[in-house]
Amino acid sequence: MRAVQVTEFGGPEVLTPVELPDPVAGPGEVLVDVERIGVNYADTHQAENSYLAPSKLPLVPGGEVVGRTPDGKRVVALLNGGGGYAEKAVAPEATTFPVPDGIDDLTALSMLVQGTTAWILLKKNAHLAEGESVVVHAAAGGVGTVAVQLAKAWGAGRVVATASSDEKRALALELGADVAIDSRAEDMTEALLDANGRRVDIVLDMVGGKTTDQSIAALAPFGRLAFYGMAGRESPKPVDLRNILGHSTTISGMWLPHIFRVPGNVFGTALTELFDLVLAGKLKAIPGGEYALPDARGAHEALRSRKTVGKLLLDPAK
């Protein structure tokens, strides 16, 4: 089968098209004939071995695919440790889900990782209450586009989106944000206070660095910042616990695999709710571009440039 492999860690340049033997499903696994592959920020970290879970070489990156099982069922699946950048992939049965009629490949993959991430951040990390303000950083990205829509659907009082271009900010407003501001603001604390008219209740942050530091400083009493990535590849400053106490704020982290350690089928519930919202016309996936499988490098370059919007896909048929 055709695949993309990493044999040395690094940036997009290490993604190499290769021919590999077809994978074989073992006990508790499902073989998927892949029709589309989702591209995530986590894949870029996996390729350079800077992800939370260490990578091992040789590596076929990619954690999510949509396609068909040998008996013809259409499924979307989370993979275990990679293997997605290929024409065929093996997924655990426990993280393989049927795709309802009316849900296309783009939407299935958008909701599988980005959608469930936004759902978990708002429900389990931030515990969004009706009327609260929500800041969504990187609001035109995969998670951001879903988070803006969910926050409004679930009764947020004011959604403040941040994005780096006029086009991205226009998209955030189209999706329901009340105001969209430049993510490159020199003083993000002041920018958020001005945009919201007061301190903010919730911040969803996957940028890192000073964006995180200055967002924490903008939190209202009992405000919550949910941190789920470092697209800027800069760590925030260490948090002084006295400051958390002094402002009664909460800072939490979220790594999607941990949801499978929580009792109950939280992930399945989230995915089902997201698909239902899509079918009801209350939520939509935003296309970010589709690349041929051998051009996975181009997809990573685009993602790391932070110029993309929505969900990026690879097409293994091209």
Residue 86 is predicted with a pLDDT of: 98
Residue 94 is predicted with a pLDDT of: 95
Consecutive H or E run containing 303: helix 296-304
Is residue 232 scored above 70 in pLDDT?
no
The secondary structure of 216-275, three-state, reads HCCEEEEEEEEECCCCCCECCCCCCHHHHHHHCCEEEECCHHHHHHCCCCHHHHHHHHHH
Question: What's the CATH fold of domain 2-104+285-315?
Answer: Quinone Oxidoreductase; Chain A, domain 1 (3.90.180)
Is residue 224 scored above 70 in pLDDT?
yes
Q: What percent of the chain has pLDDT over 90?
A: 87
Question: What's the CATH fold of domain 118-253?
Answer: Rossmann fold (3.40.50)
Residue 211 is predicted with a pLDDT of: 93
Measure the CA–CA gap between 283 and 279, rounded to whole angstroms: 8
Is residue 52 scored above 90 in pLDDT?
no
Q: Residue 285's closest CA among 25, 59, 50, 66?
A: 66
Banded model confidence at residue 42, pLDDT cuts 50, 70, 90? confident
Q: pTM for this structure? A: 0.92
Residue 142 φ then ψ, to 5°: -60, -55
Residue 53 is predicted with a pLDDT of: 79
Is residue 9 scored above 90 in pLDDT?
yes
The pLDDT tens digits of the residues spanning 20-35 come to 999 999 999 999 999 9
Q: Is 284 exposed, middle or buried (0-12, 13-18, 19+ CB in 10 A)?
A: middle
Is residue 306 scored above 90 in pLDDT?
no
The pLDDT tens digits of the residues spanning 154-184 come to 999 999 999 999 999 999 999 999 999 999 9
Domain layout of the chain by residue ranges: 2-104+285-315, 118-253
